[in-house]
Structure 1
Amino acid sequence: MIKRDHTPGKLKPISLKTLPNGWHADGGNLYLFARGNSRTWVFRYVAPDGSRRNMGLGSLRSVTLARAREMARALVAKVHDPENPVDPIQEAQQKRQVDKAAEVARRTFKQCAEAFIESKRHGWKNAKHAAQWDATLSAYVYPVIGDMPVDEIDTPHIVSVLEPIWHVKSETASRVRSRMENVINWATVSKFRKGDNPARWRGHLDHIFPAVRKVAAVEHHPALPYRSLPDFMIALRKRAGVGARALEFAVLTAARSGEVRGATWDEIDLEERVWAIPASRMKAGREHRVPLSDAAVQLLRGLPQETDNPLVFPGSKKRVPLSDMSLTAVLRRMEEHGVTVHGFRSTFRDWSAEQTTYPREACELCLAHTVGDAVERAYRRGDLFDLRRGLMADWGQYCLA
């Protein structure tokens, strides 16, 4: 039981650091609680509802005896106010709630966007993805609504961001809209705003802006006509260097540049003639098995394997893949200025559609494209691998014709 003593001034500054463990009353409901080297000021009182409460006022290191007495006097006045007695702890809790609500109200779109990007950063396979988000939002969104409280953003604000670029940078505008929608969805789930998302497309912004496909034609990667491919491959095989071999392998497998440049020897089984690309390196996030044709196997067998480097096509620096520009540079040296590395996938697709009778699904799966809706994919459990092996064998023979 703690004795009540409303007369302040019992403690002496000189003795505060040497007091034994326990409660030490100064009077006026002020106590110093000692435990080891710890010294804490505590205001002990009976709340208006009759409950006994202990309210910490800070440590002896940060609050002097004089300041602690001043704080205690102010709190005694609140507790014993004859007209409106107050529970100081309850008052402090209410203030924190008000401050938190005010903080939420001040949460800006930019703050929400930065938090959203950070929450997704480790889930994105490519670090460039986060950089692209930062770049587009900084260029088009932050100057207009970046400093606005996110719960105040409405359709006119979204329109003011998109209107200047929708007709002149349609693809960029579409990505900007999608990214704003994602950020605002995150803010809603995080309780920083309520209501519908003003950046949503279907049933909302589609009544304000024309669809992107109607504004500008889709820009495809320039591709080499498949009838010109055999001559191109003859010239390519005469080229020396890792970049040339990587480009040749990309053509033979119809794979993306990044998949080829990141290929490691442990992904390739030359005996089974299979290249198994792990899900972590695939655009769709699913493992992709590539049947290797005779031409692809022959190319791989002719490559040196470095014992301390797992990469099939190593760059100039140890354990660092080739850059994307390495493959493009090969095309430039061959004076194929109107062709891109990615375009060879279109070359393969045009050839498979016009020169073979393989099913469309097999051709699309060779490109690691998603085929059919969710129901169809659920019933088609296989990846048509045997069928694709025949298709890729024919493609390899055509490339070497």
Structure 2
Amino acid sequence: MAKLTALGVKKAGPGVYSDGLGLILRVKETGARSWILRVQVNGNRRDIGLGSDADLTLTEAREKAAMLRKIARRGGDPIAERDKDKLAIPTFGEAVQIAYDELGKGWHIKTATQFKSSLEQHAIPVIGRRRVDQIEAAHVISVLSPIWTEKPQIARKVRHRIGQVLSFCKSRGWRTNPVPDPAEIRAGLAKQPSSKGFAYMDYKLVPALFVEELAKQESPARLALLFTILTGARSGETRKAHWGQIDAEARTWHREAEIMSKTGNAHTVTLNEAALAILSRAEALFGRDGLIFPSMRGKVLSDAAMGKMMKNAGRTETVHGFRKSFRNWAAERMPHIPFAVAEMAIAHTVGTNVEKVYLTSDLQEQRFALTDAWGEYVAPSLSSARRGGAK
């Protein structure tokens, strides 16, 4: 009897197909396919399920059948051996939960949540039932191909997180093969479109926009937008800002790790006079209790609230893009300010792990000089008003 071929397995319709030596492929009317080993165990015929063809290739099924036949010939229990193998090595879906429970202990809650949810949405439906020792580059490619060009940023994160899970499994002894190489994975996927990042405004245009928005009716979202521009903050950090974080006398805004959406580390912002003026307007309108820029219902502003201010102004740039406007301004107009100071001003991590051990200062004095200059550049009227005189 002719042996099966990989193509024959793929095209096989409902029925039972023998590969010889007791290895059988069974295809149900539903299309479900499974490998079965028919073997003598202590003089009795036993049909042992080996797994579906999604879990085992033809070659892998033959190898597994040969191993179990050998155990049966020696008088062992091939079923117990098969089940022992299943219990010892988790599926990818199981491994995601185990890795999340362990690795998540050292992550910010948002990082841990995104790690798990992205894999549950994109990876587990495709490879969740496959054992972690069987996952190779081709399987990762099958996960990424539907989103690789449509959602490139998400796809790259999913690829990285699959690698994290498999590396974790390798450290636990659940797989011996190397983790699939990112270069090998990319070779099997289309070229991704170039990343354009967040649309940002040329810093030379920021003062005019600021004046226009300042002249309009004051609302929580508009004041939050102006404050974000002046501080270089991320929108989520502004939306969650509360009065307990503000020290007006010291001119600082201390943000706890919980609201630092990107780094997960606490950070203190140096406030320029213009930013303090915006805070004064917010206090006059909404009081000095709880959120600085509350929604009309007293809750945290929605993520789209400040973006709507930009759209209403006829702009296509993003709120996040003002961080880049600030960075470009600092590079071109304040070249005497060290690179690390500008990076710290927008809460970017600076330096290698070794450098961070020795750089214990937060460079606050130099950051004040930088943010004060930005406030005077963007909003000279507010800056001079706070000082009680003209520039």
- Normalising by the smaller structure, the TM-score range is 0.5 to 0.7
Amino acid at match of 2:126: V
Task: Say if 2:242 is the partner of 1:264.
Answer: yes
SS class of match (2:169): helix
Equivalent residue runs for 1:31-42 within 5 Å:
none
1:142 and 2:124 aligned:
yes
Query: How far 1:369 sits from its partner (Å)?
Result: 1.0
Could you say which residue in structure 2 is the equivalent of 1:316? 296
Q: Is the 8 A contact 2:256 2:265 kept in 1?
A: yes
Following superposition, the deviation at residue 118 of structure 1 comes to: 4.7
Residues 28-66 of structure 1, C-alpha deviations (whole Å, 9 max, x = no match): xxxxxxxxxxxxxxxxxxxxxxxxxxxxxxxxxxxxxxx
Q: What stretches of structure 2 of length at least 5 have no aligned partner?
A: 1-76, 381-391
CA contact (8 A) 1:109 1:145 kept: yes
Query: 1:221, CA displacement in angstroms?
Result: 0.6
Q: 1:225 aligns with which of 171, 194, 202?
A: 202
State the match for 1:198 in structure 2: 179
TM-score normalised to the size of structure 1?
A: 0.66
Specify the SS of the correspondent of 2:283.
Answer: coil
Q: Deviations over 1:158-207 (max 9, x none)?
A: 3443456546654333212111112223333445x1314423xxxx3324
Q: How does 1:251-290 map to 2 (within 5 A)?
A: 251-282=229-260, 283-290=262-269
Count of aligned residue pairs for this structure pair: 298
TM-score by length of 2: 0.68
- Among 298, 323, 338, which residue is 2:277 paired with? 298
Q: Residue 156 and residue 342 in structure 1: after superposition, are their counterparts in 2 closer, same or farther (change >3 A)?
A: same
Letter in 1 for 2:238: V
Contact 2:137 / 2:185 at 8 angstroms: preserved in 1? no
Root-mean-square deviation (Å):
3.1
Whole-angstrom CA distance in 1 between matches of 2:379 and 2:121: 48
Matches of 2:114 and 2:355 in 1, distance apart?
A: 36
Match of 1:9 in 2: none
Q: Deviations over 1:68-119 (max 9, x none)?
A: xxxxxxxxxxxxxxxxxxxxxxxxxx9xx97983452463111222343355
Q: Deviations over 1:189-239 (max 9, x none)?
A: 445x1314423xxxx332452699x84322211111111111100111123
Partner letter of residue 198 of structure 1? Answer: V
Q: Which residue of 2 aligns with 1:82?
A: none
Identity of aligned residues (%): 31
Inter-CA distance 380–132: structure 2 relative to 1 (3 Å threshold): closer
- Pairing of 1:12-91 with structure 2 (within 5 A): none
TM-aligned CA deviation for residue 327 of structure 1: 0.7
Q: Aligned residue for 1:352?
A: 330
Tell me the distance in 2 between the aligned counterparts of 1:303 and 1:165. Answer: 42
Query: Does the C-alpha gap of structure 1 residues 176 and 232 become closer, same or farther in structure 2, counting only changes over 3 Å?
Result: same
Is there any run of 5+ residues in structure 1 with no aligned partner, and where?
A: 1-93
Q: Which residue of 2 aligns with 1:180?
A: 162
8 Å Cα contact 2:232-2:322 kept in structure 1: yes
